[in-house]
């Protein structure tokens, strides 16, 4: 798991940190303002994290949300 962390870009780390905080979910249509990412950067980060299997898709009220993979999230919480 530690290898995954060392390979993440600064933007990916930013999103991962936000997701692990308070067990947050990401909605592709609503970029959290505190992330301060452009639409393109946000989409690129989500695609990259999804390719690495670090995100899980969750359907909620017809919307597709993303959250951290539960195993990866547990690892990060134990690390901090």
Q: What is the pTM of this model?
A: 0.85
When the pLDDT of each residue in the chain is averaged and rounded to a whole number, the result is 89
* CB 66, CB 50: distance < 8 Å: yes
| pLDDT score of 76 | 86
CATH of domain 2-79: 1.10.10.10
Assess whether pLDDT exceeds 80 at residue 22: no
| Mean pLDDT calculated for residue range 16-40 | 89
* CB 45, CB 37: distance < 8 Å: yes
> Residue ranges of the domains in the chain?
2-79
**Residue found under tokens 């898709």:** 57
pLDDT tens column, 42-59? 999 999 999 999 999 999
| pLDDT score of 1 | 66
Q: Which helix (H) or strand (E) holds 68?
A: strand 63-68
């Amino acid at each position: 798991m530690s290898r995954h962390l060392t390979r993440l870009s600064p933007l990916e780390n930013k999103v991962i940190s936000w997701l692990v905080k308070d067990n947050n979910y990401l909605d592709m249509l609503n970029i959290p303002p505190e992330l301060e990412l452009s639409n393109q950067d946000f989409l690129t980060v989500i695609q990259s994290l999804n390719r690495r299997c670090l995100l899980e898709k969750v359907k909620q009220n017809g919307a597709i949300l993303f959250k951290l993979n539960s195993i990866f999230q547990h690892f990060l919480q134990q690390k901090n």
